[in-house]
A and B are shown apart, each in its own frame.
Chain A
Amino acid sequence: MPRSKPDTVTAVLARGRLGIPSVVFFVIAAAAPLTVIAGGATTGYAVTGVTGIPVSYLVVAAVLAMFAVGYVAMSRRIVNAGAFYTYVTHGLGRPAGVAAAMVALLAYNAMQIGLYGGFGAVLAQFLQSRYGWDTTWWLCALAAWAVVAVLGLLRIDLNGKVLAVMLVAECAVALVFDAVMLGHPASGTVAFDTLAPSHIFAAGIGAALVTAITGFVGFEGTVVFSEETKDPRRTVPRATYIAVVLTGLLYGLSAWAMSVATGPDSIVDAARADGTDLIFNLVSPHLGTSVVTIGRILFITSLFAALLSFHHTVARYLFALGRERVLPAALGRTSRRTGAPKIGSIIQSVVAVVVLVGYAAANADPIVHLFFWVTVTGGLGVLVLMTVTSAAVVSFFARIRHGEGPWRAVVAPLIATIALTAILLVTLDEFDTLLGVHPHSPLRWLFPAAYAIVALIGATWALILRAAKPDVYNAIGLGPESATASLRSPTTVRQPA
């Protein structure tokens, strides 16, 4: 609608708003591409013994793009759109919402804490091979932990420009490595075996798919920025699709390139022998030492960026739940000077250090038992969340009056729900393959059961709140907006921006 007078308010508030590139940088940097390529994909090959990892990344990217269609459409209509449990609350009811919140807390904590294993092991190895320093993985992990704990309390995350530089460098290094690996195939010819769609129906694919999902965790964060983008209607959807497609292609390409360089038949053995060093060992005969060293350093920095990002995610989840008073109100307070969600940040750090000390004391393997097991368990939790959220999107649009076409409101979310449910069921069925344990090992049930237990606790807590504190119950899912709930019937559904 054209107006004769200039709209100063809109103009002033538009200053410093984010465009598509900034949002893409923020979320891909949280997903940490080199961590996924050098750490996730290689360990995925090694632990699961499945060769279909590359095609899994592509399949998962397609499913998540489908999921994103309904997800971003709904994000414009709800408050506190940054958190999965808000969608579940609006789509499937408050008990389901609190259950989802508990699952999310466990899943993001698992992602973050698992990454310490990767960081510690990779940094210790780097210091050993380059400077001859003898350290242990847990010493490096604890050093990272201390830095993350302090930055969390100071509310410092990585600056947008730093993230952009790191991200571009990571992608460049990954592409150079891919080109080198594809230029030196094991058998002399480039083999496409690991990209064959037939892998999707092969044994162990569930393990490969959830490994792939784990690599994408973080992309859902685009909607957090919806109120701070220049044009929420376009910026957030496009940034989300770009993030999913770019990372999907990069992961798929890199995982495939590794299998070409080793030969599709020996990728699993090579990954088991070399671990997270695989990609660097494959390219180092053909590249200068400095390029490989830069790659290793970027691998470490990308792990750190992901650690810090997931730490903030957990602290903010706790803050939002504290504001709603679903969790103790003290969690909803911030540090006066820095504005950090102080108590949430401290809780996350304490949980992390307890787990780290436990792993160090038990002398467990940091890569397999901490990095891979715990992050894929986090990935499983996020898979559960995305499946439920997708169903919530369908239910939400079925119940409100809206102007979205059937593709965004019904078809895409429904396809995503079915696909995600299928992945979830196959994953649960093959969790022993994923962990690389005996089919009768209790561990295969222990990790998934943790989510069932916290979800049950969450739903029960919601029902207790309904009986004991109806005002708190009514504000579930509103996050900081819950402050307005007692005064007005809050606008849980808002007009799309």
Chain B
Amino acid sequence: MPAHNEPAPPRRPVRAIGTAAAVSPRIADEFFYMAHDDQTGRPRLFDTALASGLAAALLVELYYERRITFEHGKVEVLQRLPPKDWLQHLVLDQLIAQPQHTDTRTWLAFLATTAYEQVATRMWQVGLLQQQQIGRLWRQRTVYVPTDINTAAWSWARLSQQVRNYRQLDHFDIALAGLTLHTQLDTALLDGAPYSAHAHLRQLVNQSWLPLRDLLADLSSVIGAGVLSHRTS
């Protein structure tokens, strides 16, 4: 049974109370780490799921900053005050500038077109990722590789352990758990875990805040629709 009253394990080491916002963990960054191999930087998810998941993560960041909320499949801007983080600021500006679009699905699709590059750039700027050139001359491309394996693997290991031990999650990890579940990354996260661990994860997410669940439902249907209408381009 879940041990609700146990003390929470220590938080991730990069975070120190009172430090500048630049080093406090951000959901999209952590989801980026979780969705990639901590050593090679290879994606653990297929394109649509990764891009839509990162888009949803950016929206969750703004939700946690109390700038926006989600209701009945619509995004609503609550507060126009710009957040400190440049990417959050950018996304909020886009939401404000295009008030004629309110469907969460539309915004997920729109943000998904740029989310990968934006999140990777933000992480690269603070030294969480480094760029690497791979491939032969004619097929050279840049990939992002974590600078520190431990930092990269921390969210994955923490979430996996917490869920496998039937613990409760803090609000940061609930968001990560929701993104993991709805991008179907949970099969890898809980690989080999008993069915009850999967059920615990679903229960945690299903009991979270209504706006978050509203966003996650749209994330799920965007990814599902992408599977149905997929074609090799």
Contact = CB atoms under 8 A, between A and B. Distances in A.
B225 A227 contact: yes
Interface string B151-163: 0000000000000
B46 A335 contact: yes
A224 B229 contact: yes
A487 B228 contact: no
A5 B97 CA distance: 9
A334 B227 contact: yes
Interface of B: 43-49, 72-73, 94, 97-98, 100-101, 106-107, 109-110, 113, 182, 184-185, 187-188, 210, 213-214, 216-218, 220-221, 223-233
Contacts of B113: 12-13, 15
B46 A334 contact: yes
12 contacts: A5-B98, A7-B98, A9-B106, A224-B229, A336-B45, A336-B185, A337-B45, A339-B47, A480-B221, A483-B217, A483-B220, A487-B214
Contact of A225 (B48, B97, B229): B229
Contact of B109 (A13, A155, A319): A13
Interface residues of A, number: 47
Interface stretch (A156-164, A190-198, A397-405, A423-431): A156-164
Interface of A: 3, 5, 7-10, 12-13, 15-16, 26, 80, 82, 155-160, 224-225, 227-228, 316, 319-320, 323, 332-341, 479-484, 486-488, 491
Contacts of B216: 483
B205 to A, nearest CB: 12
A339 B73 contact: no
8 nearest interchain CB pairs?
Answer: A480-B224, A339-B46, A483-B220, A484-B217, A483-B217, A481-B221, A480-B221, A9-B110
Contacts of A483: 182, 216-218, 220-221, 224
Contacts of B223: 334, 480
Contact of A488 (B72, B106, B226, B233): B72
Contacts of A12: 110, 113
Nearest to B114: A12
Nearest to B218: A484
Given A13-B110, A320-B228, 9 more contacts: A8-B97, A9-B101, A10-B101, A26-B231, A157-B231, A320-B224, A334-B49, A484-B220, A487-B214
B151 to A, nearest CB: 23
Contacts of B44: 336-337
B187 A333 contact: yes
A55 to B, nearest CB: 35
Contacts, number: 121
Given A480-B220, A483-B220, A487-B213, A339 B227 contact: yes
Nearest to A481: B221
Contacts of A16: 233
Nearest to A225: B229
B229 A488 contact: no
A339 B48 contact: yes
Contacts of B97: 5, 8
A157 B232 contact: yes
B228 A9 contact: no
Interface core residue of A15, A158, A160, A334 (most chain B CB under 10 Å): A334
B232 A156 contact: yes
Nearest to B188: A336
Contacts of A228: 229
Given A26-B231, A480-B225, A487-B210, A336 B217 contact: no
A159 B97 CA distance: 37
B232 A159 contact: yes
Given A12-B110, A13-B109, A339 B226 contact: yes
Given A158-B232, A335-B46, A9 B224 contact: no
A339 B230 contact: yes
A491 B74 CA distance: 12
A7 B227 contact: no
A323 B210 contact: no
A484 B73 contact: yes
Given A338-B46, A339-B46, A155 B229 contact: no
Contacts of A338: 46
A481 B46 contact: no
Given A487-B210, A487-B213, A488-B72, A7 B100 contact: yes
B232 A479 contact: no
A22 to B, nearest CB: 9
Nearest to B44: A336
A296 B51 CA distance: 43
A190 B109 CA distance: 57
Nearest to A338: B46
Contacts of A336: 44-46, 49, 184-185, 187-188
